[in-house]
Amino acid sequence: MSEQQHRGAVIGPSIQIDGTLKGDEDLLIQGKVEGTIELKKNSVTVGESGEVKADIFAHSIVVEGQVEGKIVGSERLVMRKTARVRGTLIAPRVMLEDGARFNGTIDMDPEAEAIKSAFAGQSTKPNPPQAQPSTASAPKSGSSPAGSADRS
Amino acid sequence: MFEQAVSGLDLEQRVVVLDLGTIRSGTVDLFAPYRCRLDIIDLPNTLPALAAMEDHDERRACLSKLFDAHAREPLDLILCWNLLNYLGRDEIHQLIELLAPRFQTTTRLHAMMEYASPLMPATPGHWIPDANARLHASQVDEEQIESPRYKPKELERIMPQLAPERTVLLGNGLQEYLFRPKPAQS
């Protein structure tokens, strides 16, 4: 996301911040941040040039750059194809673009203690899933890749 | 077979899935309707570093470090698509040793192994599940190397904590496995 497209605060590419960031507006990070980012009612975007070593707590989070730490989104979390992430992601909805690199844990359980405690008093329960994997339904023919022969 | 493993998961209960491959959107989307914790250890991208280590202890330390970062929550499903072909016997043995403390009776490990062909792609391809838990191969390396062609009996010897629950020989020459922990290990 470019700074022109973004409405809210911007940490530019030449800026480095160590410490705790708090506020009530959306934030785009193109610089370096170490510490903690708490924008629990707003969105945080780590832009392609952003380098974050921090725990992030926000309503929604988009990662296009590098993040190391715990990322907690009460609504949703998006990892773009340019994202390089190491750590723990906790959000009821997680979307990922192929190409993103990730090592760690993605917790999509809305009942997870971590998300409940981080956003105490706010609803984090997503809408019920519209569709479930159809594997629970009647078996389909040719369910293994073509040409398979069950030898079990 | 993978469909069978996924259909055994309970939508109402918390499930813990460990993916030993590179994260793909299809995997995240497949498990999103569940109360799911998805652990990702991107071993395919660690393989070049592992291969460069000549010392056995150094490789062991590298693998241990990857697993130390993860919590000890018991596993329901382990995704090991095509990876074991690219690991030596010692590394497979160590990998399963590192995973074993997180096994429970219901844990299943789903793997794809080269079986029929003496050659395989030089680097692990990606397997992407669709919404019906059917797997689709992508990004297959055209360069080929010799395949280890591990036999089922040999795998049982290398991985003494696991026993094959089902095996399927696929039309493309791959052997598909669903392993379960042996009772003594669960």
pLDDT given for residue B121 in this prediction: 87
Which residues of chain A make contact with B128, given a CB cutoff of 8 A? 98
- The total number of structural domains in chain A stands at 1
Tokens of A38: 């708490």
A150 → closest Cβ in B42, B70, B168: B168
Average pLDDT over residues A143-151: 37
- Search chain B and give the residue with CA nearest A108: B36
Distance CA(A29)–CA(A44), nearest Å, equals: 8
B185 has a pLDDT exceeding 50 = no
pLDDT given for residue A3 in this prediction: 65
B1 has a pLDDT exceeding 60 = yes
B41 has a pLDDT exceeding 80 = yes
A44: in domain: yes
Residue A35 structural domain: 9-112
ipTM for this prediction: 0.87
B32 → closest Cβ in A108, A146, A152: A108
Which residues of chain A make contact with B22, given a CB cutoff of 8 A? 101
- Domain boundaries in chain B? 1-181
Preferred mutation among B7, B23, B174 to probe A, highest tally of A CBs within 10 A: B23
Q: Is B86 on the interface with A (CB under 8 A)?
A: no
Could you give the angle at the alpha carbon of A17 between the alpha carbons of A13 and A21, nearest 5°? 115
Preferred mutation among B35, B63, B75 to probe A, highest tally of A CBs within 10 A: B35
| DSSP conformational letter for B185 | G
**CATH topology for the B1-181 domain:** Rossmann fold (3.40.50)
Provide the pLDDT confidence category of residue A139 given band limits of 50, 70 and 90: very low
A123: in domain: no
Average pLDDT over residues A94-105: 93
For A90, residues 6+ apart whose C-beta sits below 8 A from its C-beta are A70, A71, A72, A73, A106, A107, A112, A114, A115, A118
A133: in domain: no
What average pLDDT does chain A have? 81
